[in-house]
Structure 1
Amino acid sequence: MSRSATGLAAERERLAGAASEVERLIAELPAPAARDDVQRDAAAAAHASVRALRAGFLAEHAEAVYAELTAGRRQRLRVDALVTVAAERFPGLVPTTGQLAAERALPQSGKEGREIDHGIFLRGILRSEPAGRHLLESMLQPTPRALRLLPEFERTGVLETESVRMERRDGTARLIMCRSDCLNAEDERQVEDMETAVDLALLDPAVRVGLVRGGLMSHPRYQGRRVFSAGINLKAISAGEITLVGFLLRRELGYLHKLRRGVWHEQPGRWHSRLVDKPWMAVVDTFAIGGGCQMLLVFDHVLAASDAYLSLPAAQEGIIPGAANLRLTRMAGARLARQIILGGRRIQADEPAAALLVDEVVEPDQLDAAAEGGVARLAGDAVAANRRMINMAEESPDELRAYLAEFALEQALRIHDGDVIDKVGRFAGRRA
């Protein structure tokens, strides 16, 4: 056994032992929601001690850990499968399946915060250039669900899911977000459906351009109006139904990254690129708040109604707005990005600053016609190649990898912080 392998084995055993001791201490305490201040401090100190070991272990051995989990990078595991295998192969490094199941059954205020350990693990993996690159590529693969539905979509040109409807017409995949009861506020169901739809649009050779728009709402305040998106579903956060792996990272590494980069599709004879990418257009009716606004930053053309507005209230909610801190700064400049993200500035589609975020603004009754003109322009023969080069110049995969490495842990810490739990709890209470 080599010296590095010997060191890995010893530290692996030490980590497993330390984690086991912390679990013993935690088990002696009341459930998180029932702890007094002394007990909360004791739990925090115990978690901090082993988390320092996890962070140090991954700083030293992330590449070797990832190689073992993926058979020397010959297997492509998505993030959810990766953390599951890590729990089996490296005891104490990440939460077990049983621990995660117990956490998932609790509201956010009652959780132990075990996803913070997922954040530590994924930060270490993404910081490693070979491991992180391989993981990004693995997350660009089409989902098994999309591959299963592809033959039917190619035949009919129609996809119907709980939160997304998509129709292929005249070479355009028209993707309509249709969570009418919650104004297209995103949860794990919608992220699953969005990634499926994006995969199908990219894989179907009859599709040249993708278009994303909000559907007609049944919400009392916006009855009969189209809405793009109200962002993350705060009620779902409060209920403990928004996870780091299943939502926050899957969204960034999955359908949002695919909108920009394409889907990783290995085919015999396809020698020039393993990525299948296409131009995308967004049409914004009424508003794009939070995650809806984040989505716009990866589209090739954004069309908005003159009475629509954009906002990123994540800082007010206490969380990080995905990769918007990376993308908005480049797109709009550092000062305006700070005003929007840190200060909560709302951008009206018809004000001058909106020109940095929106390509075209028309009156609401002209949106349909303008959308058809937009997709026709994006269907041009040289558009796909040029958008590919623009995206590479604007945001390389390694830049996104480095950003998401830090995001993985920072967002995990935020989502379990007391101020976020209090804010989303009050929001859920108002909705109830």
Structure 2
Amino acid sequence: MNESTSRTTGGPPRASGGGRSGEATAGGPLPAAPAPAGDLTVDAAALARHTAEGERLLAHLPSAPERTEAETRRAGALHEDCRAARHAFLARHADAVYDTLTADRSRRPRLAELAAEAAVRFPGLVPDASRMAEERTRVQAHKEGREIDQGIFFGALLRSPSAGAHLIESMLRPAPGSAARLAEFRSSDRLELDAVLLERRGGAAHVTFRNAHCLNAEDTRLIADLETAVDVVLLDDRIRVGVLRGGPVDHPRHAGKRVFSAGINLKELRAGAIPFVGFLLGRELGYVNKMARGLLDDDPFGAVTKPWVGVVDSFAIGGGMQLLLVLDRVIAEEGAFLSLPAADEGIVPGLGNLRLTRLTGARTARQIILSGRRIHTDEPAAALLVDEVVPTAGLDEAAERAVHDLAGPAVAANRAMLIHAEEPLDLLRGYLAEFAVVQARRIHSPDVLAKAERHWARSRSTAGPTAVEGAPG
């Protein structure tokens, strides 16, 4: 899948693939899609015909890993022609499409459900279940890049002030199954999930990451468990403060030691197991945004929000550092460091580009995001991101003090007002609209694929347990 290196915004891609006249044969160009006329039914039918013809022509080519350079260019041109048609259709009909999928916004489907329904109701707009199932059988470098089409879809919805706001609010509601887990937690003050342990200690809920085999790196399992845990913390009225901390890990260089997080699991990315909808976009609209903005449930007074404390052992890399940007108190171990190496890896570090500048200022943020600068706890810049640096033995006591400080009845209301001032909903929505399009392309871009392969090869040659984002050693 070839990507235009000059495209960095969410606008429609330029048509590619040569001329547009003549019959579409197996080796000929895809005829131009008619410009949307403004009628949803008519334009949807035209889009379906155009993308179906694109798929027919694509089917004449070998699968991605077996294509010649010329065949790869042809596949890229076919995809880009269809994507231009999707952009044009959504530019006219994003609100109408969303209203159709949500029964005039009386329903609140989550991202995956919304995409699945769109594939059925508007054929060719997003990849259907069979095409996504086929994609999941392939390593990242061998995929067709159909998640780019999902990025176009969600980018258009989020670009709409009304549809985008409704979608963000829908994703702030409890995830399926969270209510049942709340009952389990209330009965024992403990909830063991596959990758997360949740424990109540007085008015605090301690959330411990337990992805020990990969330095507590984020994968789909951890993302799902963290959303459940955050839901439970916010739903339980006995809890006043949430505490995040990484558990002990298995890595040979850190065996038995606590690590906050090593960021995205690059081995899983290389294997094609980091989905765009369920992970890269779902993470930002799911548990991270719930920690920042609170949980929308049936409370008539709005979102339920609570303060959060982070305890950083060893390091917080990538997604781990992104989490610190929405916390109310950050305590770090002496000798720990923070970093956002996503630019070096070739991807966008979530909402780090939006949130980091207001903490560090523009110049330091650029050094961290664009140049990979690490912030160590013994340098002055650490004070912009960390509230307290203490010896390892003092971390538990420092966390208890932070919980006590943040447990006051007015804290939740004031942190909610801070979020309204610092990150208004429209600011968040606008960023996410561009992020959806850009990130979907980045995870299928040649430089990212090549780097993921190199990380994977290095982890195999050194007999390491996995490859994770920017992890030391």
TM (norm. structure 1) is 0.97
Question: How far 1:304 sits from its partner (Å)?
Answer: 0.5
Question: How far 1:311 sits from its partner (Å)?
Answer: 0.4
Partner residue in 2 for 1:355 = 383
Partner residue in 2 for 1:45 = 77
Distance 1:175 1:397 in 2: 27
Distance 2:292 2:186 in 1: 22
Q: Is the 8 Å Cα contact of residues 37 and 43 (structure 2) preserved in structure 1?
A: no
1:98-139 per-position Cα deviation (integer Å, ceiling 9, x unaligned) = 000000010001100000000000000000011000100110
The runs of at least 4 aligned residues of structure 1 exceeding 3 Å deviation read: none
AA paired with 1:312? L
Partner residue in 2 for 1:376 = 404
1:372-423 per-position Cα deviation (integer Å, ceiling 9, x unaligned) = 1011101012111111111111101211111011000100100001111111
AA paired with 2:240? R
Question: How far 1:271 sits from its partner (Å)?
Answer: 2.9
Partner residue in 2 for 1:334 = 362
1:403-414 equivalences under 5 Å are 403-414=431-442
Partner residue in 1 for 2:304 = 276
Structure 2, unmatched stretches of 5+, are 1-35, 461-473
Q: Please say if 1:140 is aligned against 2:172.
A: yes
1:179-258 equivalences under 5 Å are 179-258=211-290
Q: Secondary structure at the match of 2:145?
A: coil
Partner residue in 2 for 1:427 = 455
AA paired with 1:424? A
Distance 1:325 1:271 in 2: 33
Q: Please say if 1:92 is aligned against 2:121.
A: no
Partner residue in 2 for 1:21 = 53
Question: How far 1:5 sits from its partner (Å)?
Answer: 9.5
1:315-338 per-position Cα deviation (integer Å, ceiling 9, x unaligned) = 110100000000001111111010
AA paired with 1:380? G
1:30-57 per-position Cα deviation (integer Å, ceiling 9, x unaligned) = 0011111110111111111110110111
Change (3 A) 1:6 1:426: closer
AA paired with 1:376? H
Q: Is the 8 Å Cα contact of residues 188 and 247 (structure 1) preserved in structure 2?
A: yes
Distance 1:104 1:409 in 2: 20
AA paired with 1:233? N
TM (norm. structure 2) is 0.89
Q: Secondary structure at the match of 2:206?
A: strand
Q: Is the 8 Å Cα contact of residues 314 and 320 (structure 1) preserved in structure 2?
A: yes
Q: Please say if 1:159 is aligned against 2:191.
A: yes
Distance 2:318 2:182 in 1: 31
Question: How far 1:6 sits from its partner (Å)?
Answer: 6.3
AA paired with 1:183? L
Q: Please say if 1:417 is aligned against 2:445.
A: yes
AA paired with 2:244? V
Partner residue in 2 for 1:307 = 335
Match of 2:98 among 54, 66, 73: 66
AA paired with 2:47? L
Q: Is the 8 Å Cα contact of residues 287 and 309 (structure 1) preserved in structure 2?
A: yes
Distance 1:27 1:329 in 2: 46
Q: Is the 8 Å Cα contact of residues 307 and 364 (structure 1) preserved in structure 2?
A: no
Distance 2:37 2:204 in 1: 53
Q: Is the 8 Å Cα contact of residues 16 and 90 (structure 1) preserved in structure 2?
A: yes
| Range 71-80 or range 329-338, more displaced | 329-338
Q: Secondary structure at the match of 2:274?
A: coil
Quote the RMSD (CA, aligned, Å).
Answer: 1.1
Distance 2:91 2:106 in 1: 22
Q: Is the 8 Å Cα contact of residues 158 and 429 (structure 2) preserved in structure 1?
A: yes
Partner residue in 2 for 1:114 = 146
Change (3 A) 1:22 1:5: closer
Aligned residues: 425
Q: Secondary structure at the match of 1:159?
A: strand
Question: How far 1:272 sits from its partner (Å)?
Answer: 2.1
